[in-house]
Structure 1
Amino acid sequence: MNVLVIGNGGREHAIAWKLLQSPRVNKVFCVPGNGGTATLPNCFNLAMSVTDFEGIARFAQVQGCPFVVVGPEMPLAMGISDYLQERGVPVFGPSQAGAQIEASKAWAKTLMVEAGIPTATSVTFGRQESQAAKEYVQRIGAPIVVKADGLAAGKGVTVAQTIEEAYAAIDEIASGRFQDAGETLVVEEFLTGQEVSVLALCDGKTVVPLLPAQDHKPIGEGDTGANTGGMGVYAPTPVLSEAGMTQVQKDILEPTLAALQERGIDYRGILYAGLMVTKSGEIKVLEFNCRFGDPETQAVLPLLQTPLDTLLQACIDQTLAEQPPLDWHPGAAVCVVMASGGYPGDYEKGKGITGLTEAQETGAIVFHAGTQLKQEQLLTSGGRVLGVTAVADSFPAAIADAYGAVNKIDFEKAYFRSDIGYRIR
């Protein structure tokens, strides 16, 4: 079979890489893909936009793709799944209605509160209600969390340590920087503890979690500085025990699926719960996402032994409950993100990348995020450039192997955190 993957990041490179490990998958086509997918055997980039729904549907029909995998949240929020399904193209990824769980933080909060799902308390304000939002912050105090309601490429959330920082975040959203994503804003209770990502497969009737992972979002060492799309991740995180995962299934994933069903939403795709495990052991939802996490996917999929195409097809066919338990490699996976200097602010592109062959010779897997292949030369083209993943028998070994590979790679002004996995070292 030939599978079509939508997206151009490290997540999509990891999905394509994993799909090609299945004996049933002959080719993977990526729209538009990146420098890594361009050099992956039996993987081919297509020069189309992720919003070219007509072109994507036509290509999938001509190629006879059994399904399309949608990586990023933006085309899901725009309704790509609805468009493809209306034209007879099966797709792994929720409908536009289902994608609201990520596309609107206020909508997701309402769903959680109505379903009794444990989450932080919050209040929603319109863009013109910034003064009311500030008065609420003044009343509650800091630290406090301010979020743009819609999709903001992972940059619309501010964890304000002071009231002044919260005011600045409210002003930034009200200024229109996040465009439609900032039409409303959510001011939320600050929770302390450790964050955990649980990506779960969902076929509209059954929900099955993958291994829990722990992302490092801040740009600086020790989880300091501005939030990013993610600077590294490891899996399976010991923060969530087997009992904790059972609780997540019972108290969060299943009630969320039931709440979606009650709204008439047939949710087939990834249901991604961003969780906070508090110091008292409570597990609360920080947010939901409607797609594979990035960089969580780059650590979770290398540990998965069950063929990915089988699982995605089961979600589309609503036969997930009939599948055997997921099969996992023992040990641990660690992914270290290499970014362009200046990220998540302004950064330069077009820097030549060297040392990739040497890094891969160590046994690491190098997933490309912001790269392009130009005249046989791999160049930087984004803020997060590479995700270097190592799988080993233990976390210390995986961490050492990942950084051993990272140190083989170079591009001008390359930046990476040297403490990924510091909580388990």
Structure 2
Amino acid sequence: MNILLIGSGGREHALAWAISSSPLCDKLFIAPGNPGTAQCGENVVLDIADHRAVADFCKLMGVGLVVVGPEGPLVEGITDDLEAAGIKTFGPSKAAAQLEGSKAFTKELCAEFGIPTAGFARFTDEAAARAYVAKTGAPLVIKADGLAAGKGVVMAETVEQANDALAMMFSGGLGAAGAEVVIEEWMIGEEASFFALCDGTHALPLASAQDHKRVGDGDTGPNTGGMGAYSPAPVMTQAMEEQVMAQIVRPTLAGMHQRGTPFKGVLFAGLMITADGPKLIEYNTRFGDPECEVLMPRLKSDIVPALLAARDGVLNAVDLRWSDKVALTVVMAAKGYPGTPEKGSVIKGIDKAAAEKDVLVFHAGTQAKDGDIVANGGRVLNIVALGKSVSEAQAKAYAAVDLIDWPGGFCRRDIGWQAVKREREG
């Protein structure tokens, strides 16, 4: 069948790499794609915000499945519109995508169905929010309710930082995303990401990962969309995965079904593994980025039948096989990120890095210009390596990073540090 993949980041390059290797995929289109996805299929110029235009393209090109990568189109209802036009689409409905589109929606769902998460309060008034902060004290987590491209969460260690975050959000610093704010308790523990394919009723565990949100080494500085990740996450033991499925994922599916908004697609649970067990930090309703870049290289099964089964409601008939190897990705970002990234700098050595054994390079914010690859975003490249351990994968990834000649970029040099420390001590 012909398949259309929507998106342009590192996640989409990783998905394009996996989908294009499927015997079921006759032709892969990517809208709009990037120079990396162009190696896996055909990039097409398509206004993905114009759902009718997307549907018309699918009918013209005989597309049998649409896979939606980023969260924006899902929250805008692209799945509903394409399905109404008779086009099979992998991704949740607009109503179900609220699990990512609204922090408050998810927190209320957790409260209703007994899903463990941080204590919280919701505010649409800055004065009331400030009064709550003054009463509660710090540390706190301040979250914009809506989508904010990974920049809507502030870890406020002091009351002053909390009030600064409230001022920024309520003054429009994040646009409409900050019109409502959720204030959460600060949870103590180790973070992990857990993924499950869902068909509305059944959930199939994928794999775990751990990403690094802070921009600087040692998990310092402001939050980003993610500076690197590795899979599997050692903290997610088999027993812990079963606990997450039983206490978080399955109750979420049951609650969404009970509300009349069944969830189909990828459920990405951001978790805090606390002394009291796993607690939900937040949900994303798509493959994570950069987590997808470490999941796809470890997946030994064909991804396309699994995506179709999730859409068709027959996921209980699917089984997936995973490599025992560890995958680790280092994100190379443009200087200025997560603020205003510097665009247009030339990147050399990508092919050299990608030629290394057990190494993949997934493009994110890149652009082909005058025969060169140039930076065209914040997070620009994902350097992925496979190894028998986190330490080995880390060493291979950074050796490949060092082959890339890009003075206009930077990366963290400690991705996987918690797992590496655990390996050395163990």
TM-score in terms of structure 1 length: 0.97
Alignment equivalent of 2:232, drawn from 222, 236, 249: 236
Alignment equivalent of 1:160, drawn from 156, 162, 167: 156
- Residues 321-340 of structure 1 mapped to structure 2, 5 A cutoff: 321-323=316-318, 325-340=319-334
Alignment equivalent of 2:400, drawn from 399, 402, 405: 405
- Residues 295-310 of structure 1 mapped to structure 2, 5 A cutoff: 295-310=290-305
User: Cα deviation per residue 1:280-301 (whole Å; 9 max; x = unaligned)?
Assistant: 1510000011111000000011
- Cα distance, 1:97 vs. partner? 0.1
> Who is 1:194 aligned against?
190
- Residues 52-63 of structure 1 mapped to structure 2, 5 A cutoff: 52-63=50-61
- SS state at 1:210 partner: strand
- Cα distance, 1:50 vs. partner? 2.4
Instruction: Quote the Cα distance in structure 1 between the aligned partners of 2:29 and 2:385.
Output: 25
Instruction: Quote the Cα distance in structure 1 between the aligned partners of 2:387 and 2:23.
Output: 24
Instruction: Quote the Cα distance in structure 1 between the aligned partners of 2:78 and 2:354.
Output: 35
Alignment equivalent of 2:132, drawn from 130, 133, 136: 136
- SS state at 2:405 partner: coil
> Who is 1:349 aligned against?
343
Q: Please say if 1:66 is aligned against 2:82.
A: no
> Who is 2:423 aligned against?
none
> Who is 2:176 aligned against?
180
- Residues 308-319 of structure 1 mapped to structure 2, 5 A cutoff: 308-319=303-314
> Who is 2:111 aligned against?
113
Q: Please say if 1:88 is aligned against 2:86.
A: yes
Instruction: Quote the Cα distance in structure 2 between the aligned partners of 1:115 and 1:376.
Output: 55
Alignment equivalent of 1:420, drawn from 382, 404, 415: 415
Q: Please say if 1:320 is aligned against 2:309.
A: no
Instruction: Quote the Cα distance in structure 2 between the aligned partners of 1:50 and 1:217.
Output: 28
> Who is 2:99 aligned against?
101
Alignment equivalent of 1:271, drawn from 267, 272, 292: 267
The runs of 5 or more residues in structure 2 that have no matched partner are: 421-426
Instruction: Quote the Cα distance in structure 1 between the aligned partners of 2:34 and 2:369.
Output: 11
Instruction: Quote the Cα distance in structure 1 between the aligned partners of 2:285 and 2:47.
Output: 20
- Cα distance, 1:330 vs. partner? 1.3
Instruction: Quote the Cα distance in structure 1 between the aligned partners of 2:378 and 2:123.
Output: 31
Instruction: Quote the Cα distance in structure 2 between the aligned partners of 1:131 and 1:334.
Output: 44
Alignment equivalent of 1:383, drawn from 378, 383, 403: 378
Instruction: Quote the Cα distance in structure 2 between the aligned partners of 1:246 and 1:221.
Output: 32
Instruction: Quote the Cα distance in structure 1 between the aligned partners of 2:246 and 2:389.
Output: 29
Instruction: Quote the Cα distance in structure 2 between the aligned partners of 1:352 and 1:57.
Output: 36
User: Cα deviation per residue 1:314-335 (whole Å; 9 max; x = unaligned)?
Assistant: 1111110011x31011110000
Instruction: Quote the Cα distance in structure 2 between the aligned partners of 1:71 and 1:23.
Output: 21
Instruction: Quote the Cα distance in structure 2 between the aligned partners of 1:224 and 1:155.
Output: 15
Instruction: Quote the Cα distance in structure 1 between the aligned partners of 2:345 and 2:195.
Output: 33
User: Cα deviation per residue 1:192-217 (whole Å; 9 max; x = unaligned)?
Assistant: 11111111100111011211100000
The answer to whether the Cα contact below 8 Å between 2:31 and 2:44 also exists between their aligned partners in 1 is yes
Instruction: Quote the Cα distance in structure 1 between the aligned partners of 2:415 and 2:50.
Output: 37
- Cα distance, 1:257 vs. partner? 0.1
- SS state at 1:310 partner: helix
- Cα distance, 1:140 vs. partner? 1.1
Instruction: Quote the Cα distance in structure 2 between the aligned partners of 1:136 and 1:304.
Output: 45
- SS state at 2:322 partner: coil
- Cα distance, 1:26 vs. partner? 2.4
Letter in 1 for 2:108: T
Letter in 2 for 1:116: G
> Who is 2:424 aligned against?
none
How many aligned positions are there? 419
- Cα distance, 1:266 vs. partner? 2.6
Q: Please say if 1:215 is aligned against 2:211.
A: yes
User: Cα deviation per residue 1:145-197 (whole Å; 9 max; x = unaligned)?
Assistant: 00110000010100000000000000000111111111100010000111111
> Who is 1:36 aligned against?
36
- SS state at 1:132 partner: helix
Task: State percent identity of aligned pairs.
Answer: 47
Letter in 1 for 2:105: W
Q: Which moved more, 1:385-394 or 1:225-234?
A: 385-394
Letter in 2 for 1:148: A
Q: Which moved more, 1:60-69 or 1:293-302?
A: 60-69
Instruction: Quote the Cα distance in structure 2 between the aligned partners of 1:211 and 1:234.
Output: 11
- SS state at 1:201 partner: strand
Letter in 2 for 1:269: G
> Who is 1:14 aligned against?
14
Instruction: Quote the Cα distance in structure 2 between the aligned partners of 1:17 and 1:71.
Output: 13
The answer to whether the Cα contact below 8 Å between 2:253 and 2:262 also exists between their aligned partners in 1 is no
Instruction: Quote the Cα distance in structure 1 between the aligned partners of 2:121 and 2:209.
Output: 29
